[in-house]
C-alpha cells in the first residue's frame, strides 16, 4: 500500500486511455446538493486564492482490464468525490459557449476514451449499474433517459447553473477548469494480493456522506467475492429495486435492522446492526450467495409491508398493512417477517396468515388510540415469535398461540381493554394525530361496505370550527371549545377541500349534505338545527361504539397452549424484581445468563466498557441518585476508586478493572437502581436492555 498527494484530475482522468470503475459493492452515488454546493464554494475560493484545495482520500486498486487491455482503477473509497468531479467537468463543458476549444477539448479527453474501439468503454468512469444509466445518458445528452430526481442529474444541474452564473460574472471557463484541476486528494494505492480492500474500506473515516449499514453489508458480501458481478445482478440489485423508492438508503437500512432483529429475536441497536450481521453470517457458516438469497427472500416480504398495494396478498392483508403504515407502526415487522416466511413455506394457510395480521393490526391501532407509549414495542415484537413457539407443539395451534401470548401480556404491552379504548376515543384529541384520525374516519365510514371512500380525495373537517365566530360563541365557551374541538364527536370528512372553515353550522350542514359521501359519519349532524357540546358528546358515544365493534379483539382460552415460564422486566419497571428469580439479562441484542441480581451491574458495566473504555474513568465518583435506604448514606458511590471505599463496605463493591470498582452488594432493589444509573450514564436506549425472570407461582 502506497500513499501520495496528487491532483485528482491528473491521476484519474488525464491519461489518454483508461477506465475508472466503481465496483458493484459500492453504494450508489449519494452526494446531495448541499455536498456539491460546499465543493463549488471551495472551488470558487480556489479561483480567488489560486491555491490548491484538499478533498480527502481516494483508495484504489490498479490493474488492467482484461477485455480491452486498458489500465483500470478500481475505486475502493472516494467514488463520491470522483463522480462529482466528472459531473462538474461535464457541466463546465456544456456551459462553455464562448468557443473555448481548449476547455471543451480538455474536458472531452478527461471524460472519454476517444480512441477506444469498444462503445462499452468509451466513457472513462463506470459507476454501478443504476447510476451508470443516468451518467451515460447525461454525457450523451440523451434527455429521454434522464431522471430529474437522481443525484447524478440534480448535481449536474446545480453545477451547470453555478458555472453559467460564474461565466456571466466574467470568470473564464479556463479559470474554472484550472480550479477543478487544483483539487487534490491523498491517493492510497493498493497492491492486488497484498492489501485487503475490505479491511481498509471498513476502517476509513472519510468526510462526505457516511457509510450506512446497508453500504457496509453490501461491501461485506460482494467485495471479496470473485463472482461479485453476478451476485450483484442476481441478488443485490433486485433487493434495491424492491426497497429503494428514492435516492436515500433509509428503506434499505430499516430493512436490515428489522431483518437482523428477526434473526436474533432481540432488539439490535442501529449502531450494532452491521457487526451483528457479520457475526451472525459467520456463526451460520453461510456462503455469500446463501446469505444474499436469504436476504432477497426476506426483502420481498418486507417490501409487501412497505408497499402493500403492490403485493400479491389478499385484500384484507393489504388493508391491514396499509393501516399500519398510516399510523406509522413498523415495530411489528420483525414478527411479521417470521409469520409471512411461515406462510411462504406452507407452514400456515392464508386464513391463518390473515387472522394473525389482523390481530396485530387491531392491537396496534388500539394502543395508538389509547396513546400507550411505544418504547417497549420493538422489544416485545422482537421476541414475540420465539417466545410463542419456544414450545414446538404451539405451532399446531398457530393463531391461537399467538393470540394467547398477546393476551397474557401485562404492564406496557397489555392489550387495552374496551373501557380504555372507548374513553380514549371519546376524549382524546384525535385530530392532532393525522394518520390515526384519517384511519378512524375511514374505518367508521367504510366498515364492511363494498364501495370504499379514498382518503386522498377527502379532508378532515371540524363541525364546530377551530376558530369560532360570534355565532358559535353564543352557545360554546372557550374552555368547552378547547376540550372538544379536536375530538371524535366533532370531526367529519368532506371532499370540499377545507372550505367549511369557520362558517355557521347551517352553512356547514349544507356543505356536508351536498359534498360529503360520509353517510354514517354525518347522519346525526345533518338532522340537527344547531351544534352543541351535548351533540358532540352524543355523537362521540355513537361513533365510539362503531369503532369498538370494528376494533374488536377477543382472547382465546386454551389450556393446552403453554409458554416458557419467564417474564420480561424492562428498565422502567425494575421495582418488579423484588421476590423474583433471575434467569438472564439481554443487552443490545445479546443474551447473558445470570443467577444473582448483584452480578448484573458488574457484568453490564464490563460489557459496556469494552466498547467505550474511556467513559468509565470519567464516571468515577458517580453517586447514587435519591435516597439509599439500605446502604451507608456517607458512602454512596456507584463507581469509585478503591481508596474511596469504606473498609466496612468493601463487601458491597466489585472490581470492574484495575483501580475502578462498582457497587454490587445489597438487595435486588438496590442493585437494579445502580444498574439503571449505569445504563443511563452509557446512554444505552431503554429498549435495548431487559431482565428475564421466572414467572411467579400462584
* pLDDT reported for residue 207: 43
CB of 637 closer than 8 Å to CB of 623: yes
Pairing label, strands 660-663, 653-657: antiparallel
The last residue of one of the domains, among 361, 394, 420, is 420
One domain, residues 180 and 258: no
One domain, residues 31 and 56: yes
Indicate whether 208 pLDDT > 70: no
State the pTM of this model.
Answer: 0.71
3-state secondary structure of 510: helix
* pLDDT reported for residue 26: 78
pLDDT exceeding 70 applies to what percent of the chain? 90
Instruction: Give the mean model confidence (pLDDT) for residues 559-576.
Output: 78
Task: Quick: pLDDT tens for 602-659.
Answer: 999 999 988 888 888 888 888 876 444 444 444 478 888 888 887 777 778 888 988 8
One domain, residues 91 and 114: yes
Instruction: Give the mean model confidence (pLDDT) for residues 334-351.
Output: 97
E strand spans, 515-638? 566-570, 582-587, 590-593
Closest Cα partner for 281 from 310, 260, 303, 251? 260
Q: DSSP per residue over 518-548, as a string?
A: -HHHHTTTTT-SS--HHHHHHHHHHHHHHHH
One domain, residues 279 and 386: yes
Is the pLDDT higher at 677 or at 627?
677
For the chain, the average pLDDT equals 86
Q: Give Dmax over CA atoms of the chain in angstroms.
A: 92
Instruction: Give the mean model confidence (pLDDT) for residues 505-513.
Output: 81
Give me the number of domains the chain comprises. Answer: 4
Pairing label, strands 19-21, 71-77: parallel
Residue 479 sits at the vertex; the CA angle it makes with 478 and 485, to the nearest 5 degrees, is: 80
Is the pLDDT higher at 1 or at 349?
349
* pLDDT reported for residue 200: 66
Q: Is residue 266 part of a domain?
A: yes
pLDDT confidence of 341, banded at 50, 70, 90? very high
Q: Is residue 212 part of a domain?
A: no
pLDDT exceeding 90 applies to what percent of the chain? 43
Distance CA 598, CA 603 (A): 9
Structural domain range at position 610? 566-694
Task: Quick: pLDDT tens for 155-186.
Answer: 999 999 999 999 999 999 999 999 999 999 88
* pLDDT reported for residue 698: 46
Q: Is residue 216 part of a domain?
A: no
Is the pLDDT higher at 400 or at 375?
400
Task: Quick: pLDDT tens for 18-74.
Answer: 888 888 877 789 898 999 999 999 999 999 999 888 888 888 888 766 566 778 888
* pLDDT reported for residue 42: 92
Q: CA separation (Å) from 566 to 32, 201, 398, 693?
A: 49, 43, 20, 5
One domain, residues 341 and 441: no
Task: Quick: pLDDT tens for 424-456.
Answer: 999 999 999 999 999 999 899 887 555 566 666
Q: Is residue 170 part of a domain?
A: yes
One domain, residues 66 and 166: yes
Closest Cα partner for 78 from 200, 240, 218? 200
Residues near 169 by beta carbon (within 8 Å), at least 6 away in sequence:
none
One domain, residues 389 and 414: yes
Q: Is residue 561 part of a domain?
A: no
One domain, residues 73 and 197: yes
One domain, residues 435 and 399: no
Indicate whether 498 pLDDT > 60: no
Is the pLDDT higher at 122 or at 403?
403
pLDDT confidence of 236, banded at 50, 70, 90? very high
Task: Quick: pLDDT tens for 277-295.
Answer: 999 998 999 999 999 999 9
The last residue of one of the domains, among 207, 241, 264, is 207
One domain, residues 455 and 483: yes
3-state secondary structure of 7: strand
One domain, residues 447 and 344: no
Q: Is residue 218 part of a domain?
A: no
Distance from first CA to last CA of the chain, Å, rounded? 68
One domain, residues 533 and 581: no
Q: Is residue 532 part of a domain?
A: yes
Q: HEC states along 219-260?
A: HHHHCCCCCHHHHHHHHHHHHHHHHCCCCCCHHHHHHHHHHH
Q: Is residue 294 part of a domain?
A: yes
Indicate whether 93 pLDDT > 90: yes
The last residue of one of the domains, among 420, 446, 468, is 420
Is the pLDDT higher at 543 or at 25?
543
The DSSP call for residue 684 is -
Closest Cα partner for 504 from 463, 539, 537? 463
Amino acid at each position: 500500500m502506497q500513499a501520495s498527494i496528487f491532483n485528482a484530475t491528473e491521476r484519474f482522468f488525464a491519461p489518454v486511455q483508461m477506465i475508472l470503475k466503481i465496483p458493484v459493492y459500492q453504494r450508489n452515488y449519494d452526494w446531495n446538493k448541499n455536498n456539491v454546493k460546499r465543493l463549488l464554494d471551495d472551488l470558487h475560493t480556489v479561483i480567488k486564492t489560486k491555491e490548491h484545495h484538499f478533498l480527502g482520500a481516494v483508495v484504489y486498486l490498479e490493474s488492467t482490464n482484461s477485455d480491452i487491455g486498458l489500465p483500470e482503477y478500481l475505486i475502493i473509497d472516494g467514488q463520491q468525490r470522483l463522480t462529482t468531479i466528472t459531473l462538474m467537468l461535464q457541466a463546465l463543458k456544456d456551459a462553455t459557449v464562448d468557443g473555448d476549444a481548449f476547455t471543451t477539448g480538455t474536458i472531452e479527453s478527461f471524460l472519454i476514451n476517444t480512441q477506444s474501439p469498444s462503445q462499452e468503454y468509451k466513457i472513462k468512469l463506470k459507476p454501478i449499474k443504476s447510476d451508470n444509466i443516468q451518467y451515460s445518458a447525461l454525457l450523451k445528452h440523451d434527455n429521454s433517459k434522464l431522471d430529474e430526481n437522481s443525484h447524478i442529474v440534480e448535481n449536474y444541474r446545480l453545477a451547470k447553473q453555478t458555472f453559467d452564473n460564474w461565466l456571466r460574472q466574467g470568470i473564464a471557463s479556463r479559470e474554472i477548469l484550472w480550479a477543478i484541476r487544483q483539487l487534490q486528494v491523498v491517493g492510497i494505492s493498493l497492491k492486488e494480493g497484498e492489501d485487503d480492500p475490505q479491511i481498509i474500506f471498513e476502517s476509513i473515516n472519510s468526510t462526505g456522506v457516511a457509510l450506512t449499514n446497508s453500504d457496509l453489508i453490501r461491501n461485506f458480501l460482494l467485495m471479496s467475492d470473485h463472482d461479485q458481478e453476478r451476485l450483484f445482478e442476481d441478488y443485490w440489485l433486485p433487493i434495491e429495486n424492491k426497497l429503494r423508492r428514492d435516492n436515500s438508503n433509509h428503506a434499505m437500512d430499516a430493512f436490515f435492522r428489522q431483518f437482523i432483529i428477526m434473526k436474533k429475536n432481540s432488539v439490535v441497536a442501529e449502531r450494532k446492526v452491521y457487526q451483528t450481521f457479520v457475526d451472525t453470517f459467520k456463526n451460520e457458516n453461510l456462503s455469500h450467495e446463501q446469505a444474499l438469497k436469504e436476504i432477497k427472500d426476506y426483502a420481498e416480504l418486507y417490501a409487501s409491508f412497505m408497499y402493500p398495494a403492490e403485493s400479491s396478498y389478499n385484500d384484507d392483508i393489504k388493508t391491514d398493512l396499509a393501516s399500519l403504515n398510516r399510523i406509522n407502526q413498523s415495530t411489528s415487522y420483525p414478527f411479521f417477517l417470521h409469520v409471512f416466511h411461515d406462510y411462504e413455506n406452507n407452514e400456515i394457510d392464508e386464513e391463518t396468515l390473515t387472522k394473525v395480521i389482523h390481530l396485530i393490526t387491531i392491537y396496534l391501532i388500539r394502543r395508538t388510540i389509547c396513546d400507550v407509549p411505544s418504547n417497549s414495542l420493538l422489544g416485545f415484537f422482537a421476541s414475540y415469535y420465539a417466545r410463542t413457539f419456544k414450545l414446538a407443539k404451539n405451532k399446531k395451534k398457530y393463531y391461537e398461540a399467538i393470540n394467547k401470548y398477546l393476551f397474557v401480556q401485562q404492564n406496557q404491552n397489555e392489550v387495552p381493554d374496551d373501557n380504555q379504548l372507548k374513553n380514549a376515543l371519546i376524549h382524546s384529541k384525535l385530530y392532532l394525530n393525522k394518520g390515526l384520525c384519517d384511519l378512524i374516519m375511514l374505518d367508521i365510514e367504510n366498515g364492511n361496505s363494498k364501495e370504499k371512500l379514498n382518503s386522498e380525495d377527502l379532508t378532515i373537517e371540524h363541525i364546530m370550527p377551530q376558530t369560532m365566530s360570534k355565532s358559535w360563541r353564543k352557545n360554546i365557551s372557550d374552555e368547552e371549545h378547547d376540550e372538544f374541538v379536536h375530538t371524535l364527536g366533532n370531526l367529519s370528512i368532506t371532499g370540499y377541500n377545507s372550505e367549511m372553515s369557520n362558517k355557521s353550522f347551517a352553512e356547514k350542514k349544507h356543505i356536508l349534505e351536498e359534498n360529503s359521501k360520509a353517510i354514517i359519519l354525518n347522519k346525526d349532524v345533518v338532522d340537527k338545527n344547531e351544534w352543541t357540546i351535548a351533540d358532540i358528546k352524543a355523537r362521540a358515544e355513537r361513533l365510539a361504539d362503531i369503532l369498538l365493534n370494528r376494533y374488536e379483539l377477543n382472547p382465546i382460552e386454551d389450556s393446552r397452549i403453554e409458554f416458557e415460564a419467564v417474564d420480561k422486566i424492562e428498565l422502567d419497571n425494575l421495582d418488579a424484581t423484588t421476590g423474583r428469580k433471575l434467569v438472564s439479562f439481554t443487552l443490545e441484542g445479546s443474551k447473558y445468563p445470570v443467577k444473582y441480581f448483584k452480578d448484573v451491574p458488574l457484568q453490564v458495566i464490563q460489557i459496556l466498557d469494552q466498547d467505550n473504555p474511556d467513559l468509565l474513568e470519567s464516571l468515577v465518583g458517580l453517586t447514587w441518585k435519591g435516597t439509599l435506604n439500605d446502604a451507608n448514606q456517607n458512602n454512596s458511590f456507584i463507581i469509585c476508586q478503591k481508596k474511596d471505599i469504606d473498609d466496612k463496605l468493601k463487601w458491597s463493591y466489585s472490581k470492574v478493572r484495575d483501580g475502578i470498582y462498582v457497587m454490587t452488594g445489597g438487595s435486588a432493589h438496590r442493585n437494579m437502581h445502580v444498574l439503571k444509573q449505569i445504563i443511563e450514564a452509557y446512554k444505552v436506549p431503554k429498549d435495548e436492555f431487559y431482565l428475564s425472570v421466572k414467572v411467579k407461582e400462584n
